[in-house]
Amino acid sequence: MLRFARSLMPARHFVTPTVRRSAAASVLMTGAVSIALLQLAGCDSRAAQSSPAASTQPPAIQQVAAPVSGQTRAQVFRQVKQMTVLGEKLFFDPSLSGSGKLACASCHSPQHAFGPPNALSVQLGGSDMRRAGFRAVPSLKYLQSVPQFTEHFHDSDDEGDESIDAGPTGGLTWDGRVDHGADQAKIPLTSSFEMGSTPAKVVAAAKAAPYADSMREAFGANIFDDDAKAFNAILRSLEAFEQAPQAFYPYTSKYDAFLAGKTQLTAAEMRGLQLFNDENKGNCASCHISQRAKDGTPPQFSDFGLIAIGVPRNRALPINKDPKYYDLGACGPERQDLKGDAEYCGIFRTPSLRNVATRKVFFHNGIYHSLDEVVRFYVERDTNPEKFYPVVHGKVQKYDDLPKQYWTNLNTDPPFDRKKGDKPALDETEIKDVVAFLNTLTDGYQQTK
Ligand code: HEC
Ligand code: HEC
């Protein structure tokens, strides 16, 4: 029934912090653009290391020497740079939305690691700015390593055994349904409950914007003559901006400084790290990778696997007022291509935990609002389920957001390997330590001495 090695021989969960690299192409790195961006990044060994394109496809860097798609190297760099600058302007421009009030940055706030600016489980949008979304806004940082979605992920770094099938992995959004940043950007621009616009309106807004001339410079004087072409140029510029290394993957957290031997963790942070890694305690690192790859690539704090962990139903979401509605992640209803495939029901992409402490809303449905609650959910989901799920007539309604026929998909590796009454994998002090460690993953760390 379950066809992934993970369920029989759970590669992802039993292996001590192994590091996954993307075997498939990265979602945000598209051809020439990615190569040029690496160069823009300075592309010394450090920039190359922080890029999956560089670590998994070593020739990518050298390819730069060859002219790409008929352009000279210099032309490609120039265009990518223009697109990145333009993409940033588009990202912050509310005039692209139907209401004129919502920019990408309204939901993906740069002060919050390009995640939600507030504690709302889901944000409001649409033409009247009152329509609620149905998922929490993810951070847009560290997406550069997300591989394109694949049902069968084989990782050359997994104990050196590429025959292990780690199952569904990668893709953008919580259910991994989009493979490219440009395709992704189309969704919020046109969604009725987000920016609620149309390609023609978006193009008209860009044409009237102060950056219209930059668009002509980057894409040609006639770019606005063809709506489809102009819309595509806008999407590609947004994608280019999302790859800007300084803004989106700077690796400047305290933990990065610690890995580089430049700072020390406090006693609590250090205990937290150990509990995070320990297979018999938090076991967090089995999915949220915490160690550098063999080639030195900094950890992304996700293996990008799609996993069912039985997050409780968020009854505060308007969409959940319909008792028949279930957000089943990869098997729908939002994602269409795997519909009816029972083994994909309830699975969501493991998010990176970098900058997670800048968030006030957690999990795909935004049910929790503090890291303590999240970590407690992990370690007490099965030992004290009544703390997380509704109790009806004295009976706990466990896994209340996943119909019973899909429960076989639920992860049962530590810390989810217990039953009611067992001792939780972490006690309250240990939970605090793990949270202290999670706080070291925020970019922009300044050493005090
Ligand atoms: C109304 C709030 C809102 C606005 C505005 C918005 N987004 Fe999002 N964004 C979301 C939500 C919610 C998700 C998760 C969607 C899902 O899982 O189905 C998301 C997901 C994403 C992702 C995928 C992240 C991941 O972890 O895979 C990217 C990339 C993204 N948005 C970029 C953009 C861009 C570019 C814009 C502007 C064109 C934008 N967003 C505007 C709410 C918003
Ligand atoms: C079996 C894989 C797995 C393990 C083990 C695991 N996680 Fe997760 N983590 C996930 C997945 C999948 C999600 C998203 C689940 C969802 O929203 O439905 C997630 C989400 C999170 C989030 C929310 C992030 C956000 O942006 O909303 C935090 C925080 C987190 N995990 C911390 C931890 C900690 C701490 C541990 C160890 C105690 C841990 N995880 C163990 C897979 C895992």
Establish how many alpha carbons lie within 13 A of residue 312's alpha carbon, considering only the half-sphere containing its beta carbon: 23
Per-residue pLDDT at 70: 76
Tokens of 218: 């980057």
Ligand 2 atom index nearest CA of 286: 5
User: Could you report the per-residue pLDDT of 425-446, keeping only the tens digit for each?
Assistant: 999 999 999 999 999 999 999 8
Ligand 1 atom index nearest CA of 334: 18
Residue 118 included in any domain? no
- pLDDT of 225 strictly over 60: yes
Task: Verify whether ligand 1 is closer than 6 Å to residue 238 (CB atom).
Answer: yes
Residue 163 included in any domain? no
Task: Verify whether ligand 1 is closer than 6 Å to residue 133 (CB atom).
Answer: yes
Per-residue pLDDT at 16: 28
Q: What is the distance between the alpha carbons of residues 445 and 47, in angstroms, rounded to a whole number?
A: 18
Tokens of 330: 């990869």
User: Could you report the per-residue pLDDT of 187-221, keeping only the tens digit for each?
Assistant: 999 999 999 999 999 999 999 999 999 999 999 99
User: Could you report the per-residue pLDDT of 256-293, keeping only the tens digit for each?
Assistant: 999 999 999 999 999 999 999 999 999 999 999 999 98
Lowest mean pLDDT of 1-5, 12-16, 176-180, name the range.
12-16
Per-residue pLDDT at 447: 75
CATH number, domain at 320?
1.10.760.10
Residue 378 included in any domain? yes
How many percent of the chain have pLDDT more than 70? 83
The ligand that comes nearest to the alpha carbon of residue 317 is 1
pLDDT band at 157 (very low <50, low <70, confident <90, very high): low
Residue 288 included in any domain? yes
DSSP string, 272-308: HHHHHH-TTTT-GGGTS--S--TT-PPP-S---BEEB
Per-residue pLDDT at 26: 66
Q: Are 90 and 206 in contact (CB under 8 A)?
A: yes
What's CA 266's distance to the chain center, in Å?
28
Ligand 2 atom index nearest CA of 138: 26
Question: In terms of C-beta density within 10 A (0-12 exposed, 13-18 middle, 19 or more buried), how is residue 45 classed?
Answer: exposed
Per-residue pLDDT at 6: 36
Rg (CA), the chain: 22
Residue 13 included in any domain? no
Q: Mean pLDDT across the stretch 313-321?
A: 97
Residue 231 included in any domain? no
Q: Is 151 helix (H, G, I), strand (E, B) or coil?
A: coil
How many percent of the chain have pLDDT more than 90? 76
Residue 94 included in any domain? no
Pairing of strands 391-392, 131-132: unpaired
Is pTM beyond 0.95? Reply is no
In whole numbers, what is the pLDDT of the chain averaged over residues? 86
- pLDDT of 296 strictly over 80: yes
What is the domain range of residue 433?
Answer: 254-441
Residue 375 included in any domain? yes
Ligand 1 pocket test: pick from 123, 184, 348, 353 the residue with the most ligand atoms within 8 Å of its Cβ: 184
Per-residue pLDDT at 54: 33
Ligand 2 atom index nearest CA of 365: 17
Q: Which residues are 165's β-sheet partners?
A: 154
- pLDDT of 48 strictly over 70: no
Q: Are 424 and 384 in contact (CB under 8 A)?
A: yes
Q: Are 124 and 132 in contact (CB under 8 A)?
A: yes
* Max CA distance (Å), the chain: 71
Q: What is the distance between the alpha carbons of residues 260 and 252, in angstroms, rounded to a whole number?
A: 11
Q: What is the distance between the alpha carbons of residues 56 and 23, in angstroms, rounded to a whole number?
A: 7
Number of domains in the chain: 1
